[in-house]
Amino acid sequence: MITKKQMQELARKHGTPLFIVDHDEIRRNYAQFRKYLPRVQAYYAVKAEPLPEIVRTLYKAGASFDVASMPEFLIVHENIKNLPDKERLAWIWDKIIYANPIKPNETLKQLDPYRPLVTYDNLEEVHKIKKYAPHAGLVLRIRVANTGAVVELSSKFGAAPGEAVDLILAAEKAGLGVEGLSFHVGSQTTNFENFVQATNLAADIFKEARERGHTRMNLLDIGGGFPAPYDASVKPFKELATKINAEINRLFPKNIEILAEPGRFMIATAGTSVVKINGKAVRDGKTCYYVDDGAYHTYSGIIFDHQHCHMKSFRKGKEEICGVFGPTCDALDVISMSENLPADLKLGELLYSENMGAYSHASSTNFNGFPPAKVVHINR
Ligand SMILES: Cc1ncc(COP(=O)(O)O)c(C=O)c1O
């Protein structure tokens, strides 16, 4: 874990705003995932934070990757580009899944020579894949309950369970190979029953597919959704893993490969944001701090990811409820309207936020002329 002293030293050396990535923590998260879910191959969901240095660390640790666009695919591919062709294609088949169910024709054309696994969830996509990426392997994404997840995904993606086997057979009829099923229970899922229900639903679809003559499927992708420990209400990962292990071992024989696409879990705790106070005002009796990073930048997860980011002070003092605002002129650029902070902080003092690694810097913009925070890697 990065210490407060380290954060302050890095801010002194590099200036602010800073986005610090701790690679020891990434390795720890990956190791924890593997330890508690030994049967599950972990495909890091690159979208959570696509910095090439992070992908490199996970590549070296032995991770696999979930990509959702051609640029993400190429960030991963950079690590294997010099392998002999046969080995490189085998690595892609085994360790990359293109997990965006809707793909532009141009992307499919670009993907085809790499012969990756791709997800789909509708008939139009079958026709597109047949035409533009006939060498891809298919994984059918099914719709599952996202009850209680912070970020709901089931209204956007996933075939209705009742249509699933028809879609598998349609793809096979078109001459494509369907290798398995995938689902996503919603991001930051603290309702562990979602995983239990989804795994049972997937097992029913495997059974129906077998009964209707499809025996090829040999993988189940249990998606992302593994929660980051943002606060004490999030139950330990071990508890979730125990439930998942029980279900997959009960429902799926050993020859079925189990994959997962953890994004947030791998990276959230590895990112720390350090900001500087550039302005201070008292409005309606409340102390308001204006800092050099905000909701259009590292704190964009407040908008895009329903995050509640907490600001901490390096210095102790009598705390009051304060407002914290970002640097742009925009009204939306609010980090928090009620943060417990010392009210006597001075301009130039620093604040920090922990657990900022996922869906934060990844969706940072250049809005209002303010560039994204500087990235500093530690323990690479
Ligand atoms: C297809 C897919 N897989 C994996 C993820 C990563 O999810 P999480 O960060 O909740 O683990 C997402 C996130 O949106 C996704 O859409």
CATH classification of the domain holding 358: 2.40.37.10
Comparing 139-153, 296-310, 312-326, the range with the smallest average pLDDT is 139-153
Ligand 1 centroid to 323 CA: how many Å? 31
Please compute the mean of the pLDDT values over residues 280-302 and round it to a whole number.
Answer: 98
- Specify whether 215 is located in the same domain as 283: no
- Specify whether 37 is located in the same domain as 132: yes
User: pTM for this one?
Assistant: 0.97
Ligand 1 atom nearest to CA at 264 = 9
Asked if pLDDT for residue 154 goes beyond 90, the answer is no
- The per-residue pLDDT for 167 is 98
Q: Whose CA is nearest to atom 7 of ligand 1?
A: 224
Ligand 1 centroid to 86 CA: how many Å? 29
Please compute the mean of the pLDDT values over residues 11-30 and round it to a whole number.
Answer: 98
φ and ψ of 214, to 5 deg = -95, 110
C-alpha torsion sign, points 230, 273, 54, 379:
negative
Ligand 1 centroid to 105 CA: how many Å? 23
Q: Whose CA is nearest to atom 1 of ligand 1?
A: 99
Give the pLDDT confidence of 229-286 residue by residue, as tens digits.
Answer: 999 999 999 999 999 999 999 999 999 999 999 999 999 999 999 999 999 999 999 9
What value does the mean pLDDT of the chain take?
Answer: 97
Burial of 221 (0-12, 13-18, 19+ CB in 10 A): buried
Burial of 369 (0-12, 13-18, 19+ CB in 10 A): exposed
Ligand 1 centroid to 223 CA: how many Å? 7
Show the domain range for 108.
Answer: 23-268
CA angle 74, 44, 6 (to 5 degrees): 100
- The per-residue pLDDT for 153 is 86
Ligand 1 atom nearest to CA at 227 = 10
- The per-residue pLDDT for 155 is 87
- Specify whether 264 is located in the same domain as 326: no
Domain count, the chain: 2
- Specify whether 252 is located in the same domain as 289: no
* Cβ-proximal residues to 267 (8 Å cutoff; 6+ apart), any chain: 26, 29, 44, 48, 49, 54, 357, 358
Ligand 1 centroid to 134 CA: how many Å? 25
Given 268, 297, 326, the domain boundary residue is: 268
Q: Pocket of ligand 1, candidates 102, 152, 190, 261: which has the most ligand atoms within 8 Å of its Cβ, to mutate?
A: 261
Distances 148 to 15, 188, 227, 308 between C-alpha atoms, Å: 39, 9, 12, 16
Q: Find the CATH number of the domain harbouring 114.
A: 3.20.20.10
Please compute the mean of the pLDDT values over residues 215-233 and round it to a whole number.
Answer: 96
Asked if residues 198 and 183 have their Cβ atoms less than 8 Å apart, the reply is yes
- Specify whether 329 is located in the same domain as 343: yes
Given 268, 291, 316, the domain boundary residue is: 268
- Specify whether 178 is located in the same domain as 59: yes
Asked if pLDDT for residue 145 goes beyond 90, the answer is no
In the chain, helix, strand, coil percent, each to 5?
A: 40, 25, 40
Residue ranges around ligand 1 (CB below 6 Å) = 45, 48, 66, 99, 153, 184, 187, 223-226, 261-265
Ligand 1 atom nearest to CA at 182 = 1
Q: Pocket of ligand 1, candidates 40, 98, 184, 305: which has the most ligand atoms within 8 Å of its Cβ, to mutate?
A: 184
- Specify whether 260 is located in the same domain as 319: no
- Specify whether 10 is located in the same domain as 41: no
Does 329 participate in catalysis according to the annotation? yes
d(CA 226, CA 265) in angstroms, rounded, equals: 6
- Specify whether 85 is located in the same domain as 231: yes
- Specify whether 50 is located in the same domain as 194: yes
- Specify whether 31 is located in the same domain as 127: yes
- Specify whether 289 is located in the same domain as 264: no
Give the pLDDT confidence of 94-120 residue by residue, as tens digits.
Answer: 999 999 999 999 999 999 999 999 999
Ligand 1 centroid to 153 CA: how many Å? 9
Asked if pLDDT for residue 146 goes beyond 90, the answer is no
Asked if pLDDT for residue 1 goes beyond 90, the answer is no
Q: Pocket of ligand 1, candidates 152, 187, 189, 356: which has the most ligand atoms within 8 Å of its Cβ, to mutate?
A: 187
Ligand 1 centroid to 351 CA: how many Å? 29
Please compute the mean of the pLDDT values over residues 56-79 and round it to a whole number.
Answer: 98
Ligand 1 atom nearest to CA at 226 = 11
Given 268, 296, 325, the domain boundary residue is: 268
Ligand 1 atom nearest to CA at 43 = 4
Q: Pocket of ligand 1, candidates 47, 153, 267: which has the most ligand atoms within 8 Å of its Cβ, to mutate?
A: 47
d(CA 181, CA 167) in angstroms, rounded, equals: 11
